[in-house]
Amino acid sequence: MRLYPLCLPLLLSACSQPASEAVMPPPQVPPDLLQPCAGYTGPLPQTEGQISDALIAEARGRTCANGKLAAVAEILHQSTL
């Protein structure tokens, strides 16, 4: 009669499904990193000065976007460790 409590868990575990895989929650990304970066949004440049201003605005927008991508990549890298 003493073996009954020892055998019952073994029999029950043999009939169950295999253990499920652990699900990790998604990493927390700050909302400001998900906002788009503004580039040049003005009218079509006509003069050299306007073209220069448009190029500078586009460069700033791309630098902002690349910085945000690097920050998100760092967050994702830390969450996989």
Instruction: Specify the pTM.
Output: 0.64
Say which residue the tokens 């994702």 belong to: 76
Per residue in 23-56, pLDDT (tens digit) is 888 889 999 999 999 999 999 999 999 999 999 9
| Residues sharing a CB contact under 8 Å with residue 79, sequence separation 6 or more, in sequence order | 24, 27
What tokens were used for 67?
A: 């910085």
What local confidence, expressed as pLDDT, does residue 15 receive? 67
The larger pLDDT score, comparing residue 49 to residue 20, is at 49
4, amino acid identity: Y
